[in-house]
């Protein structure tokens, strides 16, 4: 008959043997696009899905447009762009372009250093969220895009 002490030693030895033969996966890493999964309460079947948030930061010259993507979206899917920018007397437009950038949709002009707009795409396809600098100076912006 085995004593309690011998059983404990035997169980500990089995545990270490099992542990030695176990492969542990590395934790997921954040890629360079700074993707974040945002969870929201589900109130109906229409709410099921993922929202992905992309951090953005850059300097945009006067009269230039920065685009991001393309992202495949279904009809009526939202694109939200939110940024702060300097100089605060600059003027920026937020919007989206179709994949080949032959046409874009723009929201209202934003001044004061803060801009945020949500758009719903008219049909399924590839879309590029966009920022346009309508001011006379370069604008430094920082914020995020939610798809």
- CATH value at residue 136: 2.60.120.380
Summarize the confidence of residues 69-90 as an average pLDDT: 96
pLDDT the model gives residue 111: 97
Assign 18 a pLDDT band (cuts: 50, 70, 90): very low
For 53-68, the pLDDT digits (tens) are 999 999 999 999 999 9
Position 71 pLDDT exceeds 60: yes
Altogether, the residues listed in the chain come to a count of 147
Q: Is residue 68 part of a domain?
A: yes
Domain residue limits at 99: 34-146
CA distance to 12, 23, 24, 137, per residue, from 19 (Å): 10, 8, 10, 61
Q: Under a CB-based contact definition with an 8 Å cutoff, are residues 73 and 79 in contact? A: yes
Q: Is residue 3 part of a domain?
A: no
Q: Is residue 107 part of a domain?
A: yes
Q: Is residue 26 part of a domain?
A: no
Per cent of the chain over pLDDT 90 is 62
Please give the Cα distance from 44 to 23 (Å, whole number).
Answer: 40
Q: Under a CB-based contact definition with an 8 Å cutoff, are residues 125 and 72 in contact? A: yes
Q: Is residue 29 part of a domain?
A: no
């Amino acid at each position: 008959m085995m004593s309690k002490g011998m059983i404990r030693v035997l169980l500990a030895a089995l545990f270490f043997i099992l542990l030695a033969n176990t492969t542990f996966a590395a934790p997921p890493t954040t890629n360079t696009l700074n993707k974040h999964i945002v969870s929201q309460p589900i109130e109906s079947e229409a709410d099921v899905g993922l929202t992905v948030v992309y951090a953005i930061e850059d300097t945009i010259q006067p009269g230039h447009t920065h685009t991001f993507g393309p992202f495949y979206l279904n009809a009526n899917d939202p694109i939200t762009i939110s940024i702060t920018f300097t100089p605060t007397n600059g003027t920026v437009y937020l919007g989206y372009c179709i994949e080949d950038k032959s046409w874009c949709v723009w929201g209202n002009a934003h001044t004061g250093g803060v801009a945020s707009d949500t758009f719903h795409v008219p049909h399924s396809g590839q879309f590029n969220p966009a920022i346009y600098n309508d001011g006379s100076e370069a604008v430094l912006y920082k914020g995020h895009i939610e798809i």
